[in-house]
Chain A
Amino acid sequence: MFVKQLSVFLENTEGRLDEVLKILAQGGIDLLSASLADTMEYGVLRLISKEPEKAKQILKDAGFAARIDDVIAVVVPDAVGSLAKVIGMINAADINISYIYGLSLDGEGAPIAIKTNDNERAEKLINAAGVKTLGMEDLQ
């Protein structure tokens, strides 16, 4: 049960982020969460929406390099050390975390997107510890 993340390659130039978001808005894409990983020269914009395939097609048509990947959407409980516990479990199982970022979704807890080199196993571990993860159907 993963969430589909759309990522887009962007050159680190003025107005580029604005442009890509406008294109998605014109296409009627409702963005639920956005995160930008940036370097000096370029960035990777990671987006969560209810219609990732449609969003990808819109971006492709506009000439962007875009792709869809599964990320684990973990609902981290509102308690001190919850995130540390989740990351600790993944780490202890020798699973590498590629990146994490906060999701701005409504609901209980603090939803976090995690991409690992073994999402299946990581999610099982997380769920086994009683921590909830979200799927596409949970997005509202």
Chain B
Amino acid sequence: MIWNEAKECMSRDEIEALQSARLVKVVNRVYHNVEYYRKKMQAVGLEPGDIKGIEDLDKLPYTTYADLRDTYPFGLAAVPRSEMVRVHASSGTTGKPKIAVYTRRDIDIWAECVARCLSMAGITRDDIIQIGYGYGLFTGGLGAHYGAEYLGALVLPMSTGNTQKLIDMMIDCDVTAIACTPSYLLHVAEDLEKAGLIDKIKLKTAICGAEPWTDEMRDQMEARLHIKAHDIYGLTEMMGPGVACDCEFHKGLHIWEDHFLPEIIDPATLKQLPKGSDGELVITNLSKEGMPLIRYRTKDLTSIEYDKCECGRTMARIQRFKGRSDDMLIIRGVNVFPSQVEAALLTVEGTTPHYMLVVDRVDNTDTLEVQVEVAENVFTDEIKSLEKLSKAVHDKLKMAIGLNAKVKLVEPNGLEHFDGKSKHVTDKRKLYQ
């Protein structure tokens, strides 16, 4: 079902006219309200009047994670403190998180974007939906929650961490829809199968996101749980989940172009590429008030299709993600940068530079193993000291990235070393096809 036909099915001309009008407005807003943006524009000799429409988009400077870091926490906010009603955050490459600021209107628009996605997945006000994302600074839980309430569905705010309770209530409350990470849903499927409870559930739809997943995973969850599964995309910097979603034809993720202006650039030359090209996805917030970002580099590699979809929607479709142009890993839905891990290990004497991160997916759950070489300077004859070392590494990582890593002590020179620069990450998952 199409939630907002007037917007979701606009003609290309209408979309572009709306985008142009909103781009001009948002550029004016950031120029006048955000000193950082004003200086950035002035540095390249731009004034708001130079931007007359989306055809001028490529004149604007990019926004990157470094800009968020340099202005942390509120340096990119475009409204006074009294207009802000919420903050969300996700992890950054260093200790400081990437922050997003919302006004009341931003929260409402976010809810509508999520409602459009849920509706696209066939979820209605008659559905009972469990939100299996973490509630907190992470956008997943509250983002999906507000969207589902806006839609009018009955919401069970499960959050994460208690699969048994999720399964019990799924059965007891006749839950028909779920929002969670795809790997978690497969984990739930496995528990349901083990307990022989598959035919006790009423689940029809899953809307999964926060990490990349494959068609194979979709086939698996659809076959095992007898449901339809949809992919929802988003990022904290732009808003959260609900930036884009795939319809029943699964021809890419419809991006809400009335709020988000997508483009594809070459991450090497930083030039905007023609429509249909493969490259890095860059998004501009068209309607956000709290902290609108101009030409934010998502680092996600993909392409965009603009033809009308069989579902009737005209909103462009982000194609399958082909990887990232940086080294960010998404582990159990959590963004992890190898540099964060390195910084954490630096606080445990003797563990750097000889370490290796091994990311894998075992029984549909992401695993993170940190292998640390036991060099002569950290080796002791006492097991308890070695266990202490393991625990120190585990605890520091938990603090830095919020994940429980398995720490494995290995013999010296047991890890691959490359000339000059060592390789510190091995990702065994096949997330990108």
Which A residue sits closest to B412, measured CB to CB? Answer: A65
**A65 in contact with B374 (CB, 8 Å):** yes
Range of interface residues on chain A?
Answer: 20 to 34
Chain B residues, Cβ within 8 Å of A60: 376
Query: A-B contact count, CB below 8 Å?
Result: 55
1/0 per residue, CB under 8 A from B, across A32-63: the answer is 00000101011010100000000000001001
Determine if B430 is an interface residue (Cβ-Cβ < 8 Å). no
Determine if A98 is an interface residue (Cβ-Cβ < 8 Å). yes
Q: Is the interface of A mostly helix, strand, loop or mixed?
A: strand
Which A residue sits closest to B408, measured CB to CB? Answer: A41
- Max count, chain B CB within 10 A of own CB: residue among A39, A42, A67: A42
List B residues 144-187 near A (Cβ within 8 Å): none
**B381 in contact with A46 (CB, 8 Å):** yes
**B376 in contact with A67 (CB, 8 Å):** yes
Whole-angstrom distance between the Cβ of A112 and the nearest chain B Cβ: 16
- Max count, chain B CB within 10 A of own CB: residue among A5, A37, A42, A65: A65
Q: Report the Cα distance A9→B384, complex, angstroms.
A: 13
Which B residue sits closest to A39, measured CB to CB? Answer: B383
Determine if B84 is an interface residue (Cβ-Cβ < 8 Å). no
**B411 in contact with A65 (CB, 8 Å):** yes
Q: Report the Cα distance A37→B382, complex, angstroms.
A: 9
The residue from A7, A11, A115 contacting B411, defined by CB atoms under 8 A apart: A11
Determine if A83 is an interface residue (Cβ-Cβ < 8 Å). no
Whole-angstrom distance between the Cβ of A33 and the nearest chain B Cβ: 14
CB-CB nearest 3 A-B residue pairs: A7-B381, A65-B379, A9-B374
> Interface on B for A, CB 8 Å cutoff?
374-376, 379-384, 386-387, 408-414
> Interface on A for B, CB 8 Å cutoff?
5, 7, 9-11, 37, 39, 41-42, 44, 46, 60, 63-67, 69, 98-99, 115
